[in-house]
Amino acid sequence: MSSGSALRYVAIGDSLPRGFLFERPIRQPPGPIQVRWSPLLSLFDHPARGYPELVRQRLAATGLQVRLDNTLTCTGAPVRAFWDRGPVRDLQRVLAGGADIITLTVGANDILPLWAGYALAATAARGVPLVSHRRKQSLLDRVAPSSDAAEARLQTFEARLSDLLGWLRVTSGDARIVLTTYYNPDGSSVVHERFVTPLNTRIRRVADAVPGTRVVELDPLFDGHRITAPNPRRWVSGVDGLHPTDAGQAVIATAVAAAITGGRLVS
């Protein structure tokens, strides 16, 4: 990539690129893309700590001038927030200005509603110190939704993501487009088999069908750093058990920046 004129970087996605962190409330107004709970969720948005801003900083350290537009990130956003039988108005508006780099992280919120009971139970279980981790996980496995429960949602997600990514490629020409998959926050086999693997498989399949699209695999990056890891090795928030800490965001940013440049960048 040339280090001449400034490159325009458009970040699209959910709470990961938005920089959501439940333990740090601030007065952050919602962006143009909003979901039902945006006025409340935006209190915990930190776009300055989300991986797109960190990617911009890493690219700048290599001599690349980058202008970041992260207004298309929204905590809680499913793919429908960006593609609802076509590109939503704000997506069209932002992409009308062109893009040299696009990152996209979306999909978890398309199936997360099915896992609300599991997520709440997991949060409560972490506050019970006298029960073994194995016993807690055995109980949590009982409230996890079945693989079949999410199939219809996953099919709809894949179709919408395919349309969205195809449109982004046509609209942005030869822009660098990077998708991320998702990590397993607690490392449990039930979350891996019924949530992370089915979702990530569809993300990769859609990306593989669109030329010039790169995929950053997040799950391997979090090995040894999930919610069960002790501090300071834990890269998942100890409050909600889902979102990345500052260290987690930094690791994601380094991997995404390397995918953009086609090489390995120093963090």
User: For position 130, what pLDDT does the model report?
Assistant: 67
Q: Is residue 232 part of a domain?
A: yes
In this structure, what CATH number is given to the domain that contains residue 58?
A: 3.40.50.1110
- Per-run averaged pLDDT (10 residues), the chain, 267 residues: 79 98 79 88 93 98 96 98 98 98 98 87 74 77 85 97 98 97 93 95 98 96 92 89 96 98 59
Burial of residue 245, with CB atoms counted within 10 A of its CB: 0-12 exposed, 13-18 middle, 19 or more buried: buried
Q: Where are the alpha helices (DSSP H) in 13-107?
A: 15-18, 38-41, 51-61, 89-95
User: How many structural domains compose the chain?
Assistant: 1
Q: What is the pLDDT of residue 5?
A: 83
Does a structural domain hold residue 121? no
With respect to residue 25, please indicate whether it lies within any of the assigned structural domains. Answer: yes
Residue 1 placed within a domain: no
Residue range of the domain that includes 19:
7-110+152-261
| Contact of 103 with 11, CB cutoff 8 Å | yes
Cis amide prior to 232 (ω within 30 degrees): yes
Round to whole Å and give the CA distance between 205 and 207: 5
Look at residue 88 in the predicted model and tell me its pLDDT: 98
φ and ψ at residue 193, rounded to 5 degrees: -75, -35
What is the pLDDT at residue 2? 52
Domain-located, residue 91: yes
Residue 122 located in a structural domain:
no
Q: Is residue 116 part of a domain?
A: no
